[in-house]
Chain A
Amino acid sequence: GAVVSQHPSWVICKSGTSVKIECRSLDFQATTMFWYRQFPKQSLMLMATSNEGSKATYEQGVEKDKFLINHASLTLSTLTVTSAHPEDSSFYICSASPSTDTQYFGPGTRLTVL
């Protein structure tokens, strides 16, 4: 089946620093990847759609200058949380779609900002 990986799986950083999270589709190409955020005991909320070769599209309320997305190739998208603050602590999950409607999720990255 389709495999999506994320790196790192968890990260702890100091307030004010930037953190980069990578998302890779290992056995298929994905022109579109998605970034979600999940707070404890809540469902997944879509943050942005990452498009290969063009700018990401962000959901309402998500700051594009704070959450920088780069989709460098058909198998790699990165999310950089800039100037992270404790309220950015969350579980960040990416997904990619090898075909219409089916999405496969990465294992997630748990970010803790001290």
Chain B
Amino acid sequence: EDKVVQSPLSLVVHEGDTVTLNCSYEVTNFRSLLWYKQEKKAPTFLFMLTSSGIEKKSGRLSSILDKKELFSILNITATQTGDSAVYLCAAPRGGFGNEKLTFGTGTRLTIIP
């Protein structure tokens, strides 16, 4: 059974700190890993990672995948209160063309002003 595990489950830091969120996975026929940010509504897409060792960056957020160790990290530098959200990682199940996503339980990040 495919599995996506995130840690920590929750994290509280002060504004300006840097945080690292973890996602490990066991997925048959792995091909990509996705990161989403969920505030009060539905998740918004952040990154899709397919290749090991290549960092993807968007502003203060960056993410990298390690296909050998089966994990990914999401880094947020100089955190702001607007970064408070649940961060989800997900992986498509099965082989090519199967778009069903298995989600991790999420990391709830709280930024204290």
Contacts and interface: CB of A to CB of B under 8 A. Distances in A.
B12 interface: no
A43 B92 CA distance: 15
Interface size bracket, A side: 20 to 34
B43 A105 contact: yes
Nearest to A44: B103
7 smallest beta-carbon distances between A and B, as pairs: A105-B42, A108-B42, A43-B103, A101-B32, A93-B42, A107-B41, A43-B105
Given A100-B97, A108-B42, 8 more contacts: A34-B100, A46-B102, A95-B101, A100-B96, A100-B99, A101-B48, A101-B92, A105-B42
Given A32-B99, A103-B34, A103-B101, A44 B43 contact: yes
Interface size bracket, B side: 20 to 34
Interface of B: 31-32, 34, 36, 41-45, 48, 50, 88, 92, 96-97, 99-106
Contacts of A102: 34, 45, 48
B11 to A, nearest CB: 15
